[in-house]
Structure 1
Amino acid sequence: METYDTAIVGAGFGGLAAGAQLTKMGYKVALFEASNELGGSAGKYERGGYRFQSGATLGMGFEEEGVFHSLYQTLGLKPPPMTLLNPIMDIHLPDRTIHYYRDRHQWYEEIDRQFPDVKEKVKAFYDEVFYVGAMVDRLVHQLPIFPPRTVKDWAGLFPLMNVPSVKMMPFLTQTIYRRLQKFGLHRHSLFITFLNGELMDSVQTNVERCPAFLGYAALQTFHKGAYAVQGGLATIAEQLAEYMKRQGNDVFMRHPIYEVSQAGDLFNLKSKREKVFRSEQVIMNNSVHNLHHTLFPRLARQSYVRKEKEQSREAWGAFIIHAGVKEEVFANTESLYHQFIDPANPEGLHDGGQFLLSLSRPEDSFMAPEGMRSLTLSTHTDIAQWWMRENYESNKQLMTDRLISIVNHYFPGFAEGLDLVLPGTPVTFQKWLKRHDGKVGGYAPTGKFSWLNSYSVRTGIPRLHQCGDTVFPGAGTLGVTLSGLMAAKLISQD
């Protein structure tokens, strides 16, 4: 039986980044994926001539010195063809459409048009967003192990305690709402509605609950470079997996890991038909939600992640619709990404109160037949309602009809132009992506100090680590990828 240096459970972006980085370092790596697709919640599947993106659709981090730009340079890979987006998306409210430009100068001109009564205040707020976001980037890109769990982790933070990091302290102890008070924007309903929509999309929460530094980092990321990747984000996942295989490492598809146990100095990973793989180290990329369902109980008790605490933490599910649509329906817009926000229900930024539509590029033949486009509609959703069987089908139909109706209001002919409509719920995410209870997107911040409750890439179990959207620095393909690189760094140092 072959023994690996590192076994990685889950081929989401965190596991793929860790696997590719460790491969580059010369480690013998095995990557296990339960499904038939790579990329996890940023993966894809194909039906009826269409390629659909499982969840995440927007490419980030390929700008100069960005996360993926740096990783691809390290690995010597050529990025897939992609289109830089500007505007990033159109945001539709009943009385207006806000064009969310990547270019800062154009965005400030749009602020002048959309928020004329407070335009200077909004621009001053965004000056602060860009300033603080850049500081956060410089710190996180050094891959600190956070929260620190060992003396070595604490020692790794000390070099980061410099003048810029001290300047960041106010933003570590305040919410975005508190910062809006400073600018006199906390009662401006239109701007808060807009901001809540962007924060819900990026960090799963609103201005009142979002730590300032975390929200600022997310908001400024949009303006660094957002891309439509040819073939979808799954193309990136496929490139990373192929790199591992070309270097002689193993990527096992349709190999769920049902149990991880320890025997002496090695870990045993039990897969289908009782097949067992051995490894000296393990990275869990199947989310903290699944941790206690995968680890052998005696091993799980060593972890600082407590099952009872984890189950009580707030996490969202996703309701998603994949479909084809006639190209002519969107002939009058160049934007590939559209957000719809209902300002009449500012607390309802989920279950259709705020949702996203992403379209494939008309020229991308990977994604749809000629004359058609592949699309994804997605909204955050409360999980509990989807596990009540008696209401499941009716709830699914109601949500499907609601989202389609709203889009059809802004783009007449949308409903009639649809083809192959495939709705999915948290039940779908559990079935196909093995996300426990269908939880996706990590943990929703709940206040100014909620970031202190983040999980580290350390599990508390020696030589067994974790990465993904439930681990610092959090959700999104960039956060997930960074956590994978942190786990790889930890293995190489330990």
Structure 2
Amino acid sequence: MTILYDVIIVGTGFGGITASALLAKKGYRTLTLEAANELGGCAGKFERQSFRFQAGATLGMGFEEGGVFSQLFRQLDTSPPPVHLLHTVMDVHVSKRTIRYYQQKERWFDEIAKQFPRDSAAIIRFFEEMFSLADTMLSFVYKRPIIPPKTVTHTFHVMQKVDRKLISATPFLFQSVAKRLQHYGIRDETFIAFLNGQLVDSVQTTVERCPALLGAVALSIFHRGAFYVEGGLASVVHALAERYKQLGGELIMREKVVSIRKQHHWLVTTNRKQTYEAKHVVFNGSVHSIFSILDDSIKRTFSIREEKEKQRPAWGAFTIYIGTDDDLQTDSLYHQFIVDATKPMSEGNQFLLSVSAPFDRQMAPFGKRSITISTHTDPLRWWNRDAYDKEKNMLAERILQRVHDTFPLTNIHVQLIGTPVTFSRFTHRALGKVGGYIPNGALSLLSTYSPKTNVEGLWLCGDTVFPGAGSISCALSGWIVADAIDVKK
């Protein structure tokens, strides 16, 4: 007898595993399918020779009181993995200077005064404005509206969540971060490079093309709380998955979905030639990855067009994973490198390095450290097989030379390299594109995709739908879907 599930969730990235756990908590009969050997997608992990590596060089956010993950774990009646507040978020190495990015606002403003004495007053006013705008945006986003609304009911719910502060921020909807810098007369090349590095890592673009409201959230989020997560972000996904199973949810690994079609109910077929039936399907993956598994009859009525998605720009990630001795000449766990402030923030000119804490035995044995380095790259450049190895080795050598110039790495025990080809293989994202779409200007927020599609019972979550890229945003997208499905019960 065929089991009829209430919801099938495809993928265990932050959006999918959040939706899965919340729906199971609400009593829904759920099945979650993961194609890979590991949970978490781009927030996953892998292990080599007693070292654990995070798929991407990233840190924890949203664990402060009132933060998304604090609320989520409380909602699920369980505890998050151990996290540690970072007083120093990261060291940012711009050309030959090092800017220490502090979590506490007052210490950060002192660092601004030290690093940029001529423009410090204007830069502090700029940040105060960003923090205020972020408060307004997050108070709205944390209410989990469906944006853009798809029905009259959704529109009504969105309007209920709008307050006067949000309305007063409307003029900023039509401005970029660059416009706000111009407003304050800020032109310092090093400071703008610093901002570009932060924005590329968080929202995939630089000041010229970053919407002011999106930039405000990105530039304030670390000051709400930046955390080292023991075991990496994958341990957060695993904690959510474990709670999901405790609540009665079913999880099957290494089962890749190859077809989604609809008859009376939704039918989801996998590479094992298993077909599962459900009232709702939640696809946790990039929008540009869904077309290869959607039935033609669904694609014909789908409001998002495949050809348009193929042309929509997105980044890939080039990563280096290193297991080394614990003799690093630095006390910071996170480092951002910007080699040349005048060049694009990609292809090794800008990269993020995260190193495991010396006490974290999940990441590395005693006396050893695990390092992940990540830079943005054009995903299309990596599919020329003849040039692949040469390009990979050249870029890795360039990045590692910059690292060695700052703090030499000695006694390396493991060194691995990942490209968009690697991400495509292990995370099943089309062409290895990661991090959501690249904003293309001040009005980019108006072109975001809703977690609710125009096809009844088909939902989206992840980094290519509202509210966007990053662990917090992806988790919120899954939470929005769980709320919306529960309303339809």
Q: TM bucket by the smaller chain?
A: over 0.9
2:195 match: secondary structure? helix
What's 1:248 paired with? 248
| Alpha carbons 2:462, 2:478 under 8 Å: kept | yes
| Alpha carbons 1:323, 1:375 under 8 Å: kept | yes
Change beyond 3 A, Cα 1:252–1:289: same
CA distance in structure 1 between the aligned counterparts of 2:104 and 2:411, rounded to whole angstroms: 33
Show CA shifts across 1:230-287 (max 9, x none): 11111111111111111221011111111011121x1111012211111110100022
CA distance in structure 2 between the aligned counterparts of 1:447 and 1:100, rounded to whole angstroms: 26
| Alpha carbons 2:13, 2:42 under 8 Å: kept | yes
Query: What is the letter of the counterpart of residue 226 of structure 1?
Result: A
| Alpha carbons 1:41, 1:56 under 8 Å: kept | no
2:361 match: secondary structure? coil
Query: What is the letter of the counterpart of residue 84 of structure 1?
Result: L
What's 1:352 paired with? 348
Show CA shifts across 1:308-328 (max 9, x none): 111111100000011112111
Show CA shifts across 1:334-366 (max 9, x none): 21000000234x341000010000000111111
What's 1:377 paired with? 373
What's 1:33 paired with? 34
What's 2:166 paired with? 165
The answer for unaligned runs of 5 or more in structure 1 is none
Give runs of ≥4 in structure 1 deviating > 6 Å. Answer: none
Shift of 1:165: 1.0
CA distance in structure 2 between the aligned counterparts of 1:282 and 1:370, rounded to whole angstroms: 44
What's 1:110 paired with? 111
What's 1:146 paired with? 147
Query: What is the letter of the counterpart of residue 267 of structure 1?
Result: W
What's 2:332 paired with? 335
Pair 1:442 & 2:433 matched: no
Shift of 1:149: 2.1
CA distance in structure 2 between the aligned counterparts of 1:76 and 1:129, rounded to whole angstroms: 34
CA distance in structure 2 between the aligned counterparts of 1:117 and 1:259, rounded to whole angstroms: 59
Q: CA RMSD in A?
A: 1.0
The answer for unaligned runs of 5 or more in structure 2 is none
Query: What is the letter of the counterpart of residue 275 of structure 2?
Result: V
Moved more, 268-277 or 433-442: 268-277
Show CA shifts across 1:273-312 (max 9, x none): 2111111101000221111111111112221111011111
| Alpha carbons 1:42, 1:56 under 8 Å: kept | no
| Alpha carbons 1:457, 1:465 under 8 Å: kept | yes
What's 1:404 paired with? 400
CA distance in structure 2 between the aligned counterparts of 1:63 and 1:188, rounded to whole angstroms: 32
Shift of 1:419: 2.1
| Alpha carbons 1:56, 1:477 under 8 Å: kept | no
TM-score between both structures, scaled by the size of structure 1? 0.97
CA distance in structure 1 between the aligned counterparts of 2:348 and 2:486, rounded to whole angstroms: 44
Pair 1:135 & 2:142 matched: no
Pair 1:208 & 2:208 matched: yes
Query: What is the letter of the counterpart of residue 359 of structure 2?
Result: E
Q: How does 1:36-435 map to 2 (within 5 A)?
A: 36-55=37-56, 57-185=58-186, 187-264=187-264, 266-328=265-327, 330=328, 332-344=329-341, 346-412=342-408, 414=409, 416-435=410-429
Show CA shifts across 1:384-430 (max 9, x none): 11011111010000011111111001113x2x432211100000000
Query: What is the letter of the counterpart of residue 301 of structure 1?
Result: R
Aligned length: 487
Query: What is the letter of the counterpart of residue 105 of structure 2?
Result: R
Query: What is the letter of the counterpart of residue 36 of structure 1?
Result: N
Shift of 1:43: 0.9
Shift of 1:90: 0.3
CA distance in structure 2 between the aligned counterparts of 1:10 and 1:232, rounded to whole angstroms: 19
Percent of residue pairs identical: 45
Show CA shifts across 1:192-235 (max 9, x none): 11111110111010000000000100110011111111111111
TM-score between both structures, scaled by the size of structure 2? 0.98
What's 1:464 paired with? 458
1:274 match: secondary structure? coil
CA distance in structure 1 between the aligned counterparts of 2:462 and 2:321, rounded to whole angstroms: 24
Query: What is the letter of the counterpart of residue 116 of structure 1?
Result: P
Shift of 1:56: 5.1
CA distance in structure 2 between the aligned counterparts of 1:45 and 1:4, rounded to whole angstroms: 31
CA distance in structure 1 between the aligned counterparts of 2:57 and 2:139, rounded to whole angstroms: 24
| Alpha carbons 1:56, 1:476 under 8 Å: kept | no
CA distance in structure 1 between the aligned counterparts of 2:267 and 2:113, rounded to whole angstroms: 60
| Alpha carbons 2:94, 2:193 under 8 Å: kept | no
CA distance in structure 2 between the aligned counterparts of 1:356 and 1:39, rounded to whole angstroms: 20
Query: What is the letter of the counterpart of residue 61 of structure 1?
Result: G
2:32 match: secondary structure? strand
| Alpha carbons 2:330, 2:407 under 8 Å: kept | no
